[in-house]
Amino acid sequence: MNDNLEPIKSSLGNVNSSIGKFKVDCGEEKQIWLNSTYYSQSMGRGKIITETTPNDVQYPKPKEVGYIVMKFACDNAR
């Protein structure tokens, strides 16, 4: 989740927050960005402004936020 300090203006409306969903491969330390949903209010609330489905493969580097989150998820997977 991203919560913007200031709204990001778009042609569809002001974006105040977004929620991204990822699929993780713990063995290869990669993540696939499945989708993002952009909202008119903070904390993923309000009207959905737009949605994207990038299906982008990423290999986050150690010390990057994406890597730390991925590592936490992998270490705590059941």
Per-position DSSP letters for 12-73, written without gaps between them: TEEEEEEEEEEEEETTTTEEEEEEEEEESSGGG-S-EEEEE---EEE-PPTTSHHHHHHHHH
H/E stretch holding 6 reads: strand 2-10
Q: Print pLDDT tens along the chain (78 aa).
A: 999 999 999 999 999 999 999 999 999 999 999 999 999 999 999 999 999 999 999 999 999 999 999 999 999 987
